Structure 1
Amino acid sequence: MFILNRFVIILTVCGVELSAKILTPIGAIFEQDNVDAELAFQSIIFRENMYNENIEFVPKVVKLSTSDSFAVEKQVCELLSEGVVAIFGPSNVHANGIVGSMCDTFHIPHFTTNWMISENLNVESHKFTRNFFPESNMYSRALAEIVVNFGWTSFTILYDNNDALMRLQDVLQINGPDDTPITVRKLDDNMDFRPLLKEIHKSGETHIIIDCAISNILELLRQANDVKMMEEYQNYFITTTDTHVLDFAELKFVRANVTAIRLIDPSAFESTSAVQDWNQNSFRNKNTKLYLTENIQTESGLLHDSVKMFSSVIKEFDGLAPAPIKCNGNNDWSQGEDVMKSFDERTENGITGRILFDEKGLRSHFTMEVLEMSQDGWRKVAYWDSTEGVVLTRDLSEVIVVTRLGMPFFGLKTPEDGEVLEGNDRYHGYSVDLIDGIAKILGFKYEFTLEPYNLYGAYNKETKKWDGLVKQLLDRKADMAICDLTITYQRRTAVDFTTPFMTLGISILFAKPIKQPPDLFSFLSPLSLDVWLYMGSAYLGISLSLYVLARSAPDDWESPHPCETDPEEVENVWSLLNCTWLSIGSIMGQGCDLLPKSISTRLVTGSWWFFALILLSSYTANLAAFLTKEQMDVSIESAEDLAKQSKIKYGAVLGGSTLSFFKESKFPLYQRIWSAMESAEPSVFVGNNKEGEDRVVKSKRLYAFFMESSSIEYIVERNCNVTQIGGLLDSKGYGIAMPVNSPYRTHVSHTVLKMQEEGKLHRLKTKWWKEVDGGNCEADVASASEGAAELGIGNVGGVFVILILGCVSALILGIAEFLWNVKDLAIEEKISLWEALKMELLFAFNFSITTKPVFSNPSKSPSPSEDIEDSHQSSDTLNTISKSKN
């Protein structure tokens, strides 16, 4: 092959045509041990020659030590003398500058593939040099945006040379003056990194950015593992673009999160085609490794793309005429400027993505993949684009979402007759709808898996291990965990959380108060028993005082007949009966026809009236409240009430965040509650919320259950025997948990926030809390919100009892008075009791008679004539009554 190339070169230089194709020499300068780059160069030249009808490229490969400036300059002159139309390489920055300057002088296109400061490479100083490596400022910005996306507030940078600091210049400016300082440490040249790593470990730093030679990466991570710096809390971001080609077999089981970047797109058609060419026997020998698309090095990929893009330009260039150039002459390649102009106007897609140069001749448009190390190797989790920034990977494999059973967040569907449910269709709940909404916005697929023991995730201090959902994430068995998983400080040390999709707090679930039967004499409730007794005593005391004062006061003794101005006798109307009647009439608000005359009696009467006014007004004001209030049994209303008593027990879910809240709280009240729960016998702890609800219902108000308010709202909507009491004891939120530094976290958080602003989260909660199997206790809620309930007969029945007793008593007294009067009439008229009773009954029920004759006047002794006259009148009256009856 070498002899054939030299023969073709000789013929080309001599101007001899072997075919219709124009033989076009292309030069390349490589380091002596850079086999991969040379292989990529040779393979793309071979492929282009196969499909190029007009031009055949003749590769001119030079292998030397690029640290020798004189040798580099000499080799460039030899390539120019052979008529090359372009030079590729070298990778050494200093040697690259020499080659670029010479190519500018002789108008020969020059293509390089290594990082260099953009200010040193632009169209003014290097018109004929194009660097396929991304522009340095844009590259630095990409690294900074990736770090910001991680959410790191503090980190340590490990580097090996000053170029690394230039690449990380934007990363160094992430934190402001008021933020946590960024630590920058240089790696030792003696390859013993342990002392430095121990210092970092002692400082408590868990976020480390590494920018060093690829040959040092594995050794650095090995030593980090030796000093226990590769645990689940450590996070590494390696900015070396060829990290993905290293063999991490011995480190892939470490628990630390290791993230890297690459410019290669292994899924691109150009990548698979190039690897096929590299693996052809014509480009391999027995010592050459088998190439895979995932193991393409950055320089090889960039070199492949540069040759392919230049070839595409040359193939469409009319009248190409390669010409030998002497370094000591004044000639240059006349077609060089036209070739570069056509090159800058072209856009290609290659192994390293879309290739486009801006007006300054810099590659400022590129894509960078973000990789995460897993037990199965590197996994693409996101990418950075010069126009979009950090973007969640759209072509990922299915996202695994782990959860636990527990409605309304996650439950199993009940299939209808003949229905077969598979996959995610087997489940329903708030979590299912939320993940589905996020997946539709971000464009990924997902699969639900169940936590085997249905645990949330708690840390065991003895075993120093996590269980439940958190363990699933730490073991990399799932990408997300969602349920009513509370964001706590301890959990955040192990996993990351998104923006809370629901805010809540700890509250108390308790059985509803037992409704007491209405009291028949509830109208007495506005005043206490003592007040009623004091009022009765005051009534009797005032009546007696008024009676004594009236008999003592001269002004209350008056003439029996108002017309007699100078009576021989005066009388006092204030008998004990009239005094009691005045007192009772005043307190009833009715008054009395008899009024006192003297100052003393008026004063005591006025004082009683004032007393009656205040007491009657107070009674009336309280009566409405007492008659409309349902009398309940004694109840607790807050956590303070629970802590003050010992009759009602209280507990929480064992191993949950609610229990941790009381256990770790420094507030005296909550410490008291925790001590009571911990020492209670039998145990007041339960396995889940359902057990707690059942215990509250069955305990007959002897057990209260601490749980999160969102769960209480769900239960109260469906169980009318329980209620929420008291306010929220704390404030927290439910979030979607992910492994530390998961690339999904930021995007999922943004999506959750967007759904919250659009009201979608509120609609989801309304659906699963109230609409689906909910609203059973809506009537109770409505009646309680409409104000006072109507009064039933049970509330005011005592008033009717008093009325009936009064009427019955009056009837009995009336009958007694009637019979007593019949007896007196029989004696005075000297008739039988039956005749007197008959006569009085006939008169009483003759409603047409409105006047009644006086049969006798016991206060005055009648004369004989009056007796005769009265006798005749009585006889006439009896005769009249008899005739009326007949």
Structure 2
Amino acid sequence: MVSSVLVILLFLVYTTNCYVKQVYKVGGLFNDENQVQAFTTAIDIMNKKYELSQMQLVPVPTIIPTHKVLLSYNKACKLLSQGIIGLFGPSSTHSSSYIQSLCDLKEIPHIETHRDLNLERDNTLVNVHPHPSILSRVVFDLIEEFDWKSMIILYDTDENLLSVSTILEFNSLGRTVVLRQLEVGNTNEVDGYRTMLTKVKLTKETKFVIVCSTDILETVLKQMQEVGMMTDIYSYIIADLDMQTIELQPFQYAGTNITGIRMIDPERKEVIATAGEIRKRRNVSDPLEDLAVIAAWKLKLESALIVDAVKLFYETIHSLTADDKMFINATPIYCKSNDNWAEGYTIINLMKMMSVEGLTGTVKFDFEGFRNNFIVDILELAPAGLLRVGGWNSSSRSFKFERPYKAPLSDDKQSSLFNRTFTVLITILPPYAMLTETATQLVGNERYEGYCVDLIDSLSKLLGFNYTFIVQEDKNNGNLNKTNNKWNGMIGEVIEGRADLAITDLTITSEREGDVDFTMPFMNLGISILYRKPEPVPESLFMFARPFSLSVWIMLGVSYFLVSLAFFIMGRLSPTEWQNPYPCVEEPEHLVNQFSIRNSLWFTIGALMQQGTELAPIAISTRTLSGVWWFFVLIMVSSYTANLAAFLTVETLVTPFKNINELAAQKEIKYGAKVNGSTANYFRDANLSSYNEIWKYMVRHPENMMSDNDDAVRKVESENYAFLMESTSIEYATERHCTLAQVGGLLDDKGYGIAMAKDSPYRNELSRAVLKLQETGVLTSLKIKWWKEKRGGGKCSRKSEGGAATPLDLQNVGGVFLVLFVGSVLAFIGSFVELAVRVYRISKGKKLPFKVALKRELKFFVQFKENVKDVPDSNTEDANDNNLIDKTEIEY
């Protein structure tokens, strides 16, 4: 029986141990949070993949600054003391060698993922990043494949230059290689790399190898475009493996030959799934960035290599521990001791023999421990985006191009804007289009500058079209002639086909959209009022009364009289307030009360003026009321002082009207709008009766209608005149004319658009491009440039609006009045309680009914002229008692 029980117990113990997971810690030294997220995500993915396995890895990551070598060493020692079975990182060349020496000494598997120019075979090191010398051959072979005879290498750091050092061998092969370091301009950081790139452009070289970090790559490409180095005569090879992570859309229609390389295929399902898991840990607020497909294109090589390294390490540990082949004993290792880990070499040797399929392709190592047999994708930027056109195999060191089939262009060339030339109609109207201010003679498009000129230029770079500006001399945006149903101005030019595009302060209206097409608005605005700046409020003799509103002053006066009356009443009710007028006489015949009606008024006003009086309350009730009144006075006086200071220091401005309705209601100020403009038409077609009255006024007074905004601005400055115009034009005028300001808010909501012929095939592409410029902040920067910086912008320093002080109302100080009221009520209750106690003692001593004694006190109380009272314990008081208490009261 006993043996059977033992057998069962042993079986249970055995089966239980079979399902208990062995937990192993894995350390990590990383430079930023992105690397930590990739590390922890990869371990979670592998743990879920082998959920039924008897082992489980637990990540122990640590973030260390790049240059902190000693800190890295100390953190590594701390991780070893926790019993880790492997150490990932650091991703820094500064501290990598120190950590590697430590791992070699302690025989701990060391896994790295960064590019190491001095990478050599080490006992315990596995680096999943391809050897830099091998990657350098990719660019070398590409140059040979393209048969470049000369080139310029643009690099940012010496380390990046050394990563493509094999290219320098071309100098000995009869080809010309020139080095140019990317340096920021000496004038200011805004200039960026433009000065340097302009000098490079003057060399007439058209073939470049760009070796720089992706942190600046997009900026470099944009500034190349700005200096004219993004045309079809230029060719670029980008040597960074993270090229696909930057925004390349602005360059894909330029016709430039841009070639790049990568090790991650963002269209693979495994890459998309892993990138999505990593992105979830970052709590990205933009909903589009949460998409796994977008995240896959943004996944950087360093994160992908960490995921692959974790996968390789996990598969190694799993193969060792599966089916109880080996039990790994994770023991703490200390840096100050001579011990090492006996099982480290077993793991590291097996890792170098393993082969796994990761995000960067096949992870496999040669006999020296360097990664081999991997494929680098060759990419080209086309109008359709970034396309894979081939691959480079590290084993054969050869290319295999698989260029996609390019369909012949359709005969209908209208379907695309690429390489088309458009006639763009503009008007000379600041800041939308102006003649360039220069002493030299200019020709062509260089004659013009302004917001619309820069906008068309940005669209052309984005979509790859050419353009020629022509000017609408009469500055007429376009109006419909109801008689012959024909348009004049810019709209008419577009309809007649004399201009492909028209751009200025051209408002999108339903009437215009009936005959032409518009892009989506590139600027949103509304109608408002331009008028002279508000004038300061004239000084007043009663300026001191302005900190409080009239209602507060009235309440303050009422409170003063009510509290004074309360002092008078409570003083008469409270026995303690009846005092001996002659302190030297121990038994006086009379008592006096200090709170007469005059003294009560004086005591209250003395506290209110913060001067005090010689009166001192004695009774609890009067002291309570005094404390509450003093608190009330403290708050009110402090509030008055603070608001008075604001009134005296802040200039309060006043304008004759505050909105369009007040403007229409008055008769002194003249007003108008632009003749036949969209603003005038808005009031003409409005359904509101008040707006119809404004239109009728404009019809009755045609002399107030202006043909030009500049004339209107001068009229507003010199006369008592208000001008109705778009808010953007008002903003431009107020930046340069400091006596003018916008009055009121916007009356409507509309936008400016680019006009083109009806049913134009360019509309959708141009609208998407405008939207792209809006999303990237280009439109905002252009507005800041031409409104606030160029041509006198920023001349008028703006004062913050709403700085005028406002009188304190009851809602601001109502709580203080409430405290005063509650305190007064409590003081009254105290007076009656005190009186009742006093009457009770007198009635008990005189053996009188309480009601009779109370009635006697109240009878004296209502004799307000009497301010002298008999002493209760004197004979006089007894006589008075007999006189005051009649027989009827005693019988009662």
The verdict on a shared fold, with TM-score over 0.5 as the criterion, is no
TM-score (ref. length: structure 2)? 0.40
Higher-Rg member (1/2): 1
